[in-house]
């Protein structure tokens, strides 16, 4: 029997194991599979867990067990996940992961390695949680050129911004509430600074453009400076403030405009209606036109749903599926966001030191003194 190993028994790992057994009959029957979870790798023991008999502490057991056909790397972080992933792929064991940091950093290399070893590296759970976006972009939209992709890719910041708008809750209070509800980590920097969204838009951009885009090339701004006054201004303007991750290809060139920034999203845009911890990805494709995919962007069971769809796909696949390869490239393909003309919401101090709000459709130059914030408008 071709079996499964789960690496990491934290929130996503335990969700994956529980969800596998809860849905096992359906998964096996509908996909004509016969499989089981053989190992769970973790440093800890879990005497309370019904799955403790599967827990092991030595990675090499998995690596050297020829029954293992697919491993779910749910540890997060670069090390030792990167090393483990390479060692598994080298053995021809497919790896599926929720590890956005690793995919954004080493995705191109790991995809090539999987192809060389005729197995698969899948990462549906790395971006958009339960939303089936990775496979959709590659498989369902294969007969499309995708020019533009914009999304709300971080549930914590979307929750905070929703509270700031709907309940005029100040930023710090909304952040505390999101921590209390378990959405934000104790150190929320990766969420609120935009770094988490940045990794995810890098993964999505690499898929649609076929080039490995690195996080440090992306103009990334967080939501830390957004105030309830900004949120109220947005509402009066018929818009909402959302942290938008955006990737767009210039027509007739290889240049890519990629940013993570708060935007004033007008109410006519579907993304303005995505509230609370939900995520959404909007795609403009050559044949399919405009599409949007909406769902839970994180959480134990939604992420497990994506991990298990990848495990199933890896077990069904006979050799490398989805020839998803990203060429290496340099940051020369990235368009400097300062050179792009956009409409802005502008907050500045006037000559008397008063804060004033307004809109600007002009190019932003030095003539605007005392700018506190400049937020692009998304129609």
Enzyme catalytic residues: 200
β pairing state of 256-266 and 371-378: parallel
**What residues between 97 and 156 interact with a second copy by CB under 8 A?**
124, 130-132, 135-136, 138-145
Minimum CB separation of residue 178 from a second copy in Å reads 18
d(CA 203, CA 373): 28
SS3 361: coil
Q: Which is nearer to a second copy, 192 or 324 (CB)?
A: 324
Among 1, 29, 60, 354, binds a second copy (CB under 8 A): 29
Contact 94, 122 (CB under 8 A): yes
Extract the tokens encoding 329. Answer: 């490239």
Contact track, a second copy, 31-70, x by CB under 8 A: xx--------------------------------------
Alpha-carbon dihedral angle through residues 363, 367, 372, 378, given to the nearest 10 degrees: -10
Q: Which is nearer to a second copy, 57 or 273 (CB)?
A: 273
**Eight-class DSSP state of 276:** T
**176 near a second copy, rule: CB under 8 A:** no
Contact 112, 325 (CB under 8 A): yes
Q: Which is nearer to a second copy, 23 or 87 (CB)?
A: 23
Q: Which is nearer to a second copy, 142 or 365 (CB)?
A: 142
Stretch in the footprint of a second copy (CB under 8 A) among 27-35, 85-93, 332-340, 363-371: 27-35
**273 near a second copy, rule: CB under 8 A:** yes
239-to-120, 154, 163, 343 alpha-carbon distances in Å: 42, 19, 15, 13
Stretch in the footprint of a second copy (CB under 8 A) among 98-106, 311-319, 341-349, 368-376: 311-319
Phi/psi at 346 (5° precision)? -120, 130
Nearest one of 265, 270, 153, 142 to 203, comparing CA atoms: 153
**308 near a second copy, rule: CB under 8 A:** yes
Phi/psi at 260 (5° precision)? -125, 115
Minimum CB separation of residue 276 from a second copy in Å reads 11
Q: Which is nearer to a second copy, 142 or 236 (CB)?
A: 142
**240 near a second copy, rule: CB under 8 A:** no
**161 near a second copy, rule: CB under 8 A:** no
d(CA 79, CA 200): 19
d(CA 358, CA 215): 31
**321 near a second copy, rule: CB under 8 A:** yes
Q: Which is nearer to a second copy, 5 or 315 (CB)?
A: 315
**Eight-class DSSP state of 322:** S
β-pair partners for 72? 6, 96
Question: Contact residues for a second copy (CB under 8 A)?
Answer: 15, 19-20, 22-23, 26-27, 29-32, 124, 130-132, 135-136, 138-145, 270, 273, 285-296, 299, 301-302, 304-306, 308-309, 312-313, 316, 318, 321, 323-324
């Amino acid at each position: 029997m071709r079996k499964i190993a789960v690496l990491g028994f934290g929130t996503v790992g335990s969700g994956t194991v529980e969800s596998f057994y809860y849905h096992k009959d359906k998964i096996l029957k509908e996909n004509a599979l016969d499989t089981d979870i053989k190992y769970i790798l973790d440093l800890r023991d879990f005497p309370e867990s019904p799955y403790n008999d599967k827990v092991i502490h030595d990675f090499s057991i998995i690596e050297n067990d020829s029954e293992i056909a697919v491993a779910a790397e749910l540890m997060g972080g670069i090390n030792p996940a990167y090393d483990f992933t390479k060692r598994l792929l080298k053995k021809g064991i497919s790896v599926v992961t929720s590890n956005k940091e690793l995919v954004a950093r080493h995705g191109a290399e790991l995809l090539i390695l999987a192809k060389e070893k005729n197995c698969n590296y899948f990462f549906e759970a790395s971006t958009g949680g339960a939303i089936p976006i990775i496979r959709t972009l590659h498989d369902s939209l294969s007969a499309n050129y995708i020019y533009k992709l914009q999304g709300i890719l971080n549930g914590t910041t979307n929750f905070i911004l929703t509270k700031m708008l709907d309940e005029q809750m100040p930023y710090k209070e909304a952040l505390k509430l999101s921590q209390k509800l378990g959405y934000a980590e104790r150190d929320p920097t990766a969420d609120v600074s935009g770094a988490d969204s940045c990794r995810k838009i890098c993964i999505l951009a690499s898929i649609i453009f076929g080039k490995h885009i690195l996080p440090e090339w992306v103009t990334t701004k967080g939501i830390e400076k957004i105030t309830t006054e900004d949120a109220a201004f947005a509402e009066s303007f018929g818009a909402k403030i959302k942290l938008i991750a955006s990737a767009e290809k210039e027509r007739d060139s290889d240049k890519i405009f990629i940013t993570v920034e708060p935007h004033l999203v007008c109410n006519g845009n579907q993304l303005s209606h995505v509230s609370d911890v939900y995520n959404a990805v909007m795609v403009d494709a050559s044949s399919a036109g405009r599409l949007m995919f909406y769902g839970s962007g994180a959480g134990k069971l939604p992420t497990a749903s994506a991990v298990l769809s990848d495990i199933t796909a890896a077990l069904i696949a006979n050799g490398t599926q989805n020839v998803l390869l990203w060429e290496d490239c340099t940051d020369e393909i990235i368009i400097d966001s300062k050179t792009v003309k956009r409409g802005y919401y502008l907050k500045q101090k006037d000559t008397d030191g008063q804060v004033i709000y307004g809109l600007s459709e002009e190019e932003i130059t030095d003539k605007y003194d005392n700018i506190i914030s400049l937020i692009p408008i998304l129609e």
